[in-house]
Amino acid sequence: MASESAHPMHVTDSIIAPLIGRARVAMAAFKNADQARVDEVVTALAWSVYCPDNARALAETAVRDTGLGNVADKITKNQRKTFGTLRDLMRVRTVGLLDDDPESGIARYAKPVGVVAAITPSTNPAATPVNKTMMAIKGRNAIVIAPPPGGWSATSATVDLMRQALAQVGAPVDLVQVLPQPISRELTQTLMKQADLIVATGSQNNVRGAYSSGTPAIGVGAGNVPVVVDESADLDDAAVKICASKTFDNATSCSSENSLVILDAIYPDMIAALQRVGGYLANNTERERIQNCLWLNGKLNRDVICKDASAIAARAHLEDTAPEARFFMVEESEFSAASPFADEKLSLVLTLYRARDFDHAIDLVSNILEVQGKGHSCGIHTTTADHARRLAEEIDVVRVLVNQAHTFGNGGSFDNGLNFTLSMGCGTWGGNSISENLNYRHFINITHLAHTVAEDRPSETALFERHWQKFGK
């Protein structure tokens, strides 16, 4: 979130207007780039962050400055997301003629959307900026990145590397820029008003600000992923995946599992499987201690969120009982403000719900998402295809993952068909304009060239006959 320290409006305009101006000049210079040239530039951007030395340096800066996550996993995230996004982008056209359909007489041409304002979060101050930049420039746009104050150093370093990459391949360096310090709400708001498109990832305040700016905007909803484990699941496989996903980068991801809904018949066995991979089940007293250290005055405690398990153990006085814990489990049955464990926790705390049967499990998932996360995602570990189908049919989410680790699957994976991204649309359920993973299509305008074709005009009878037969003329 932007700092509360205000810039006067005339000051913000004097800062933003030159950034937008330079971005438009860069776009004009890049306007005639063909697909091969665009792909060359996008590949250079990807390498600037994927390069092992750079991926490490950015990860170290991010953890040092934000205090969120851990270096090893941020290196993995910087490289994996960048590599996967590059794979996706190299397989698509975004310049000139996209397709020409003789049957419909429609030919489609890709055009830039303009200058993109990218609002990025402190949880991913390197991976998210490069991800959005690659998509934006794939569409021959320019981008100006607005990071949160705490993530500015890592984001600025990322932008510096990307600008060096642009210079190396002879592309305009002002295709990507970052807001200068000090970052303020007023500065970000002015950027959003002057840009042509906003893509907002991060706090819901920032997303709402994007939608109310008057500029076309794409925002993403809040995460709070519930996952069902049913009687047919491979419990050890599920436990390994849940642990890997929950602990990755200390649960900074909005796709991290926040709650497990475990069917009654396998509840004790699943608890045992989770304990075998490092989960610690808190008793009632320990549960209260975890709650008291995780929330302060109704808000998540920044001294605990996205920190190592040892930090939670120390704050909750669990060093003696849970010295080897990789994550903590608390049992829950409520969905009220007095019992906040149903909410997103951004920490190594996993909430457990016990379901009587699968119908009850669906109800529990729905209730959890009503607390937070509606539209985002849910998942299931199962070998019963009908259970997965029912979740997809009955739960209002954009993504349902089957037998996968959510952190590694929701935002694209090498073994599922979702686009690689760090921005996951949640549909109107989550207050968003898109119901898919943010991808290159959101960064291009399309011109439709329409030729005449053979007339396609059915008869009145063909269209109205069934209505006439049932209801009369």
* pLDDT single digits (tens) 323-381: 999 999 999 999 987 789 999 999 999 999 999 999 999 999 999 999 999 999 999 99
Strands (E) across 183-332 are located at 197-200, 217-219, 225-229, 257-263, 279-281, 295-296, 299-300, 327-331
Looking at the structure, tell me whether residues 73 and 113 fall in a common domain: yes
Strand arrangement of the beta sheet that strand 279-281 belongs to: 279-281, 327-331, 349-355, 257-263, 225-229, 375-381, 397-402
- Residue positions counted in the chain: 473
Is the domain of 271 the same as that of 210?
A: no
Quote the tokens at residue 161. 């590397």
Q: What is the pLDDT of residue 336?
A: 80
Q: Which residues, in sequence order, are CB contacts of 23 under 8 Å at separation 6+?
A: 115, 142, 143, 144, 174, 175, 177
Considering the domain architecture, whether residues 117 and 161 belong to the same structural domain is answered as: yes
Q: Report pLDDT for 167.
A: 98
Q: What is the predicted pLDDT for the residue at 8?
A: 59
144, 24: one domain:
yes
pLDDT for 7: 59
Q: Give how far the C-alpha of residue 418 lies from the chain's centroid of Cα atoms, to the nearest Å.
A: 12
Give me the pLDDT at residue 11, please: 79
Chunked mean pLDDT (size 10), the chain, 473 residues: 52 94 98 98 98 98 96 98 98 98 97 98 96 98 96 97 98 98 94 97 86 95 96 98 98 96 98 98 96 93 94 94 96 88 96 98 97 96 98 98 97 97 96 96 98 96 97 95
Same domain? 174 vs 277? no
The answer to whether residue 458 is domain-embedded is: no
Domain presence at residue 428? no
425 found inside a domain: no
Q: Which of 410, 427, 460 is the last residue of a domain?
A: 410
Number of domains in the chain: 2
Query: What pLDDT sits at residue 9?
Result: 60
Q: Do 163 and 310 sit in the same domain of this protein?
A: no
For residue 357, the enclosing domain spans 225-410
Query: Catalytic residues, which ones?
Result: 254
C-alpha torsion angle, residues 432, 434, 437, 442 (rounded to 10): -120
- Residue 30: its pLDDT value, please? 98
Using alpha carbons, list the distances in angstroms from residue 85 to 369, 412, 422: 28, 9, 10
pTM, to two decimals? 0.94
